[in-house]
Amino acid sequence: MNQASESDPITLFRSNWATYQKLLEHNYMFHHELVHASQKLIQSIDRPLSLVDLGCGDATLSQTLFKNNQISRYIACDLSQPALQLAKTNLAPWSSQLELNCLDMLEQLRQIPDCALDLVFSSYAIHHLNDQSKLALFKECFRVLKQSGSFVLIDVMRNDRQSRDDYLDQYLCMVEKDWVEINSIECARITEHVRANDFPLSPSEYQSLARQAGFHQENLLDAHGFHQAWAYQRLS
């Protein structure tokens, strides 16, 4: 494969997406457990759901999370157009309620009116934002949610009082030790990506952002080390 083809966006997407599918298949990031815990909360909502999926990828998770719920409106955004094409196929049963947008998460939220949604959902996406953008995202989530609506967040989180550098060292040590089905090339790409792009906060830091945004109730849905699921509820 020549250098030009390796830098082609579609080629890069397919390569990285194949690695991501390995992570799902072998449950290295505890998607199964965290999605199941989130599903119990989401499916307890006894009304048609209007929601936004921030950083939806190919929307594979949504097929599990929402299959027993009636969807009244489903907005999904991602910066990858190839991922959105896959999402369109995966979400075909909801095609009449579906809006797919190639936008960043904050831009998507800012296009939604106040108090319009029952649910905001995001999985392994917002740790890429800087702290200022994370706070802005929490504020936008609060704004677009109806009273008693929830922001369900699945993501990596640092331990309290743990530095980013210490987190990165521990996380990547775990990757090298435990993600045995990831080959050396894939491991090198993951390491490069994580060190350059991952800026996770601790649960207490996320709680502080949520309180600043207006949320006054948060619930830990499930946790497996650095991989956690939380729900932040708008009560007013």
Give 84-139 pLDDT, tens digit per residue. Answer: 999 999 999 899 999 999 999 999 999 999 999 999 999 999 999 999 999 999 99
How far apart are alpha carbons 110 and 114 in whole angstroms?
9
With 60 as the cut, is the pLDDT of residue 34 above it?
yes
Give, for 208, the enclosing helix (H) or strand (E). Answer: helix 203-213
With 80 as the cut, is the pLDDT of residue 46 above it?
yes
**pLDDT category of residue 206 using cuts at 50, 70 and 90:** very high
The pTM for the full model equals: 0.93
Amino acid symbol at 29? M
Which residue carries 């922001």 as its tokens? 151
Asked if 123 and 167 touch (Cβ cutoff 8 Å), the reply is: no
How far apart are alpha carbons 31 and 64 in whole angstroms?
11
